[in-house]
Structure formats: C-alpha cells, structure tokens
Structure 1
Amino acid sequence: MTGWIGTMLLRPGLMVLTGEVGTTALHAHHTVQIMQSESAFRIGDAHGSTASCRAAVIPPNTSHRVVEGTASATLIHLAPEAAVATALCRDPADAVDVWVRHGAMFSCGPIGMTALVTGAGEPGRSAWHPAVRRSLADLPGLLADGPVRFGELAHRAGLSESRLAHLFSAEVGLPFRAYVRWLRMQHAIRLFAAGRTLTEAAHGAGFADSAHLNRVCHSMFGAAPSHFGQLRLVDELDGP
C-alpha cells in the first residue's frame, strides 16, 4: 500500500486530493467519493468483484477498495449535505457507462471536477429546518473547543435532543455522531499534513489518542494517517 503524493484541498464538507493513488484496504466512509484519472485504476467491492475504470462514484457507507492505483488522479470526498452529493446519491445511474455490481459501486465516464467542487460549496440548506442550519454552522467552532456535547447544540438550536437528532439525520443524511466523526477526521488530516505529529493531530481533532485516530482513518479511508503525510495543503485547485 503506498501513500498519496500530491496536493490536498480542505473546505467544510469537502476534501479534494490530487496525485498518485496507491492501493487501499477494504473500507467505507460516510461521504460520497468521486475519483477520476486519465489512466485506468481498478476498484473492488466487499464481495470480491473488481472493475477497471477511469472514473468512479462511490455512494456513502459502501465498502470498497482500490485494487490497482494510478500515477495521477483526482479524488473528491463530499459531505452528504452537499447539493451535488445529494444528487449523485439520488440517481447515480444517470452517469454514462454505468457498472453496477451487487448494488455497490458505479463507474462512469469523465466527470466535470470543477463543477463538482463548485457545487459542493453550495449545500441545499435553504429549505432545511433553521435548527439544522444553525447546528451545522456552530459545529466547527465547538469542535475546536473540545468534545461536542449534543445537548449544548440542541440548547443553542432551541429544540429537544431527540427532535434535533431526528431532523439532523433526515436532512443531512447522516446521524450526528457520524457527521462529527467525519469533521474530526478531516481536521486531523489537515493538522497532520501541516506538520503536526500524529499524536498532536489526534488530540487537536478530539480523538482519544493516535491509536484511536489510526483506527478511524483505516475504517474510513483504508489506510493509516501517515499516508497523508506527503500531501501539500493548497487553498485552490490547480488548473481549470
């Protein structure tokens, strides 16, 4: 298994990695994943089936692995509340050259990466309950202060914990704890790529220790946090 060598763009609800892609172990994450390369790579599912493709859309919570990597690719992770992520999950069969195996994965032709990233920055929140919008806005600040207490979030939003939990899952598409885990993982990767030690990144993102961070990273990305150590943080994507 090789690590990523390239660049990484991090924004709320969005992670974009560009560079060399190595193999990964079987894993699943709560995000929608889009991967594109000019040369073919091979992905596999939990049933042992594999497919060679140059672009793939992986729905949330879908076990998959990279069987054969590629020298240069772009990989996007979209939080489930992003409007474009919602559209991809709703009807992934709109992609061309669809490959479906065990209802698990979808491979497709070239994807407009710039359009996807632009759309990812515009979550479809206008029709959401104000308490959900308030909670999503408050979470990054709470995360930086330490453990996130759902009761405090509900109090800020003016709702009971049970009501906010129901609304959050229904509208964001992800339970609260799973969403917070994604935010913590994203922050830990940012800290590690910026030069912090694994222990510092773990504590800075709210994980119990580096072993805890390592377990979550393996389950979510199929690789150890050290695989992100050679990525260079950027503010904007290169190219059009």
Structure 2
Amino acid sequence: MTEQPWEGSALLRPGALAFTGTIGVTDPHAHHAVQIMTAPTVMTIVDGNDARHRGTTVIVPADATHRIDTGAAQGALVFLDPESTAGRAAHHRSIHHGWTSGPVLSHTRERPLGAVVTDLISQLTPVPAGPVPQRHPAVSAALDLLATPTGPGAVRGTEVAAQVGISASRLTHLFTDEVGIPLRRYVLWRRLHIAITRVQAGDDLTGAAHAAGFADSAHLSRTCRDTFGLPPSLLSRHIRWDIDTRV
C-alpha cells in the first residue's frame, strides 16, 4: 500500500481507533477493521469490483478490498473492531445499505476527535433509555486485571477467567454482552494501547512490541496492517495521541 505521511491527531479506545488529518490516496488493500471516513468534501473510494463510492461519509466493510481514489485535505478516519457492537452495526449498514450510507458527523475542525467517535458510536448503537445496569463483578474484575501494563501481552482468556473465578465460556458471554467487544479482541486492543503508550514515552518499536506482548516489531507492524491497513508510522511520535481506556 502506498504510505502517506501520518501527521495529525489520533485517539485509541478499546474497539475504536480514530485519526484526523489529511486523507490521502492509497493502493488497493484490505483490513479487518470497519473503516468510516468523513470529510467536508466529497471523497471517492473504489472497491474490489471497481465500483466507485462517492460521498462525504463512506463506510468500508470489514475485509473489503478498496482504495482511496480521491481523499480530502482534512477529514477523519474511524476504525471499528468488526466484532464490537458498533463495528457490527457499521458493517451491516455498509453491506445492506451501501458504502455511502454512513451517519452524519460534524467535521473534526469544530469538535474534538473524541466527541466525533462518541457521536458515531451512539448513532450506530443507540443506548436504551433507563438506568444503566451494573456490570457483573467478574467482568469488572477482568477489566481491572487487564488494565495493568503487564497483563494483556501475556494473559489468555482462560487465564483471566480462572483469576476472576468464573468459567471461560461464561466470562466470554458476559464480557461481550456488557463491554460490547469479545474478550480476546479487547486483549488485542489493550496490547496496541500499551505499544502506542510506550512509543509515545520514547521506546523504539522493538521495545514497545515486547512490552505489549508481541513477538517483535514485525509482529506489531503486521497486526497494525492486518487490522487497520495502516503502516508502522501510525505509531510515530509525530502523531498527537489521546489514549482512552473507557469502555
């Protein structure tokens, strides 16, 4: 894929990665995350069948071959895990209603990137009225366990379940239902969180990869490309990162 210089602002939450800046052209590629692009000017995205999708908001479904033919001088990219509640909703919308059927989002020049992501997720998965139910104690305990810097890189779902005193199948069901993303995918996002945090603190890619539980920097780079279709320069200190652990 043709690499563009990544300079701008980015936000990472469990299940969501967002970037604001220049949306450049790319070669054909595919990635596992659902990609939502929004800009004040019309963009053109070409899919694997050479169909052209033109709009100010475009949703690329998970694992779909595509290329950006016309980008934007300023816009936002939001990548959602396709196994998360919001990611499934976005994927379904693009498949059944078209790639340009995305939510109407305010441009990030007028709003913080975090507000854009929150608005996007709320449009895709409206929260029912009424009091928010309390989380199961095992889910809260698992989240606390995975919040430690050394946890996500080494621990497995079965080990988390054993440490919080519940069966792996029960924890998997509860975690997905209450957090909105499967446990194993949450662990991957936490590892990316750790890697980015370490790069921002001054580590090189190798040190950051090892700290996050990846085999080496090549493993970390492959994960970035396979998940987001983005180059390792995404982790550069030239990007202003907002690391948000809320779920």
Query: Structures share a fold, TM > 0.5?
Result: yes
Per-residue CA deviations over 1:86-130 (Å, capped at 9, x if unaligned) read: 7944974xxxxxxx5677734436414655434569x96736544
Q: CA deviation at 1:15?
A: 3.0
- SS in structure 1 at match of 2:133: coil
Q: CA deviation at 1:175?
A: 3.7
- SS in structure 2 at match of 1:168: helix
Amino acid at match of 1:108: G
2:81 aligned with 1:73: no
> In the aligned structure 1, how far is the partner of 2:73 from the partner of 2:201?
23
> In the aligned structure 2, how far is the partner of 1:105 from the partner of 1:156?
43
Q: 2:212 aligns with which of 182, 205, 228?
A: 205
Gaps of 5+ in 2: none
Contact 1:81 1:171 in 2 (8 A): no
> In the aligned structure 2, how far is the partner of 1:80 from the partner of 1:4?
24
> In the aligned structure 2, how far is the partner of 1:168 from the partner of 1:48?
39
Per-residue CA deviations over 1:21-80 (Å, capped at 9, x if unaligned) read: 2344523334x5432111222224444433122112345x34254423322111233567
Contact 1:135 1:153 in 2 (8 A): yes
Contact 1:49 1:101 in 2 (8 A): no
- SS in structure 1 at match of 2:148: helix
1:2-17 aligned at under 5 Å gives the runs 2-17=4-19
> In the aligned structure 1, how far is the partner of 2:91 from the partner of 2:134?
17
| Matched residue, 2:30 | 27
> In the aligned structure 2, how far is the partner of 1:165 from the partner of 1:73?
36
Amino acid at match of 2:185: A
- CA separation of 1:109/1:144 partners in 2, compared to 1, >3 Å: closer, same or farther? closer
> In the aligned structure 2, how far is the partner of 1:217 from the partner of 1:90?
20
- SS in structure 2 at match of 1:141: coil
- CA separation of 1:34/1:130 partners in 2, compared to 1, >3 Å: closer, same or farther? farther
Amino acid at match of 2:192: M
Range with greater deviation from structure 2 (13-22 or 139-148): 139-148
1:1-240 aligned at under 5 Å gives the runs 1=2, 2-24=4-26, 25-30=28-33, 32-58=34-60, 61-68=62-69, 69-78=71-80, 85=86, 88-89=89-90, 92=93, 105-108=99-102, 110-112=104-106, 115-118=115-118, 126=133, 129-141=136-148, 143-144=150-151, 146-172=153-179, 174-229=181-236, 230-234=238-242
Per-residue CA deviations over 1:173-207 (Å, capped at 9, x if unaligned) read: 54432332222224323433554322122112211
- SS in structure 2 at match of 1:192: helix
Gaps of 5+ in 1: 93-99
In the alignment of these two chains, the number of paired residues is 226
Amino acid at match of 1:184: R
- CA separation of 1:134/1:105 partners in 2, compared to 1, >3 Å: closer, same or farther? farther
Q: CA RMSD in A?
A: 3.8
Q: CA deviation at 1:11?
A: 4.2
Amino acid at match of 2:7: I
Identity %: 38
> In the aligned structure 2, how far is the partner of 1:218 from the partner of 1:82?
19
Amino acid at match of 2:18: V
- SS in structure 2 at match of 1:117: helix
- SS in structure 1 at match of 2:76: strand
> In the aligned structure 2, how far is the partner of 1:228 from the partner of 1:22?
17
